[in-house]
Amino acid sequence: MTRFLGWTAPLALVLLAASPAAFAHAMLMHSSPADQGVVRSHQVDIALDYDSRIEASRCTVKLTDAAGKPVALQMERSAKPSELNAVADGLANGKYQIHWQVLASDGHITRGDVSFTVVAP
Residues 105 and 53 sit within 8 Å (Cβ to Cβ): yes
Element of type H or E holding 16: helix 2-18
Q: pLDDT (tens digit, 9 = 90+) per residue, 75-94?
A: 999 999 999 999 999 999 99
CB count within 10 Å of CB 25 equals 15
Q: pLDDT (tens digit, 9 = 90+) per residue, 8-51?
A: 555 554 444 444 444 568 999 999 999 999 999 999 999 999 99
**pLDDT of residue 119 exceeding 70:** yes
In a 3-state reduction of DSSP, which class is residue 98? Answer: strand
Rounded to whole angstroms, the maximal C-alpha distance in the chain is 73
What is the band of 106 on the pLDDT scale with cuts at 50, 70, 90? Answer: confident
Q: How far is CA 118 from CA 7, 32, 38, 61, 88, in A?
A: 57, 13, 6, 18, 11
pTM score over 0.85: no
* Span between the terminal Cα atoms of the chain, in Å: 73
Confidence (pLDDT) at 59: 96
Q: How far is CA 74 from CA 6, 22, 69, 85, in A?
A: 56, 34, 16, 9
